[in-house]
A and B are shown apart, each in its own frame.
Chain A
Amino acid sequence: MRRPREVRPQVARRFRSAAPGGRTVYLVHPGALAATVYEGLAETLPNGAGLTVLDLGAVPEYADAALTGGRAATTVEALADRLLAAMEPADGVRTLAGWSFGGVLALAMVRAMPAALRPERLVLLDSIAPTEEYKQPDDALEPGLLLGWFAMYLGAKRGRAVDLAPDALAGCDADGGLTVVLDAAVAAGALLPDTPLPGLRKLYDTYVDGLLRNNRLTAPHRPEPAPLPLVLVKAERSLIPGDATLGWPPLAPHGLTLHTCPGDHYTMLGRSDSLDVIAPLLHTS
């Protein structure tokens, strides 16, 4: 057997270099979507600004856990240290941001940084706070909830929104709900018409294992309050639509500013109208 190809990307992926003395945005990306989703953000940032994505897809102990049952042999703190080590030495102004679970890691990175190197603020992109009130046991993640998120994810992956009626997944188990998602995805052109249900089931199981991995990493994590102001950008179709703060106030003794952008949890990273909201928040001092 030939050895597997080494196609794993670098942890720190520079999408654009900052001009000398310019601001570099470091954005923690926990996978699910390819890191190339940030190409649009790199183009939307003002001239002179840089963008480096810290891609957890390049950290084997994290990324491979979604393919092997959803249990990562690491911790939030260890991952934060790994990402900090991947950052370049500070040579200009920096903004730190994190999308989704990346926000949890970004906060842990801030706590682990020497005070002199900390950015002025932390920008959280539709990230749920790792507080006790917002942690959920695995079995609280019911199929109806997960399938709705999965449809959102699938639509973002394929560039075609997979719209479901509000109660389409009510009371569905995973198999029944996947049939509903499959029909909607085929109708939207997100999947080929003859996509088999077992194939979609494999994709769904891997997606859920990625969520469970993050849930299990968050469970034992005990975050300290942020030593800097927090900025939360929530998607209009967030993972928790009815919750304005996603649980961050107890971790924000230096202030929490709230913003909303168009799109859902996934499409917020690529839509130009959403990036028009996000880019200034990443760049403004």
Chain B
Amino acid sequence: MAVVTALEAEQWLIEKIAHRLGVATDEVSREVYFDELDLDSTEALILAGELENWLGFELSTTTLWYHPTVKELASYLAEESTHRATAA
């Protein structure tokens, strides 16, 4: 399992969100709350599943709730990824 940095996670999230919203990547702010984006709950769960597949580990469905912006989620993912790689 590869370690993911916060920058890589941010880029991945912004690309995927921009694609799902049909906007340019520079239109997705890393600090805006997910629920302020035009991303409904269906899209958010699909994104979470795709994210798990990319990371190679399962995320709680509440992860996006507790880390509600791209910046915060990316930071958490980098931390979690490092933790899991170290423990493996």
Contacts and interface: CB of A to CB of B under 8 A. Distances in A.
Interface of A: 1-2, 4-5, 7, 34, 64, 67-68, 154, 157-158, 191-192, 195-196, 198-203, 206
Contacts of B72: 1-2
Contacts of B65: 4, 67
Given A196-B53, A199-B45, A206-B45, A68 B60 contact: yes
B61 A206 contact: yes
Nearest to A198: B53
Contacts of A5: 33, 35, 68
Contacts of A191: 46
Given A5-B68, A68-B60, A157 B42 contact: yes
Contacts of A203: 42, 45-46, 49
B20 to A, nearest CB: 7
A4 B66 contact: yes
B42 A1 contact: no
Contacts, number: 61
The SS class assigned to the B binding surface is: helix
Given A2-B68, A2-B72, A199 B33 contact: no
Interface size class of B (residues with CB under 8 A): 20 to 34
Given A7-B35, A68-B60, A68-B62, A198 B50 contact: yes
Interface of B: 20, 33, 35, 40-42, 45-50, 52-53, 60-62, 65-69, 72, 76
Contacts of B69: 2
A42 B53 CA distance: 42
Nearest to A64: B62
Contacts of B66: 1, 4
A56 to B, nearest CB: 15
B35 to A, nearest CB: 6
A202 B68 contact: no
B23 to A, nearest CB: 14
Contacts of A7: 35
A206 B61 CA distance: 8
Nearest to B34: A5
B62 A199 contact: no
23 contacts: A2-B68, A2-B69, A2-B72, A5-B33, A5-B35, A64-B62, A67-B62, A68-B60, A154-B42, A157-B40, A158-B42, A196-B46, A196-B49, A196-B50, A196-B53, A198-B53, A199-B45, A199-B48, A199-B50, A201-B49, A202-B61, A203-B42, A203-B46
Contacts of A196: 46, 49-50, 53
Given A5-B35, A206-B61, A199 B49 contact: yes
Contacts of A157: 40, 42
A64 B60 CA distance: 12
A179 to B, nearest CB: 14
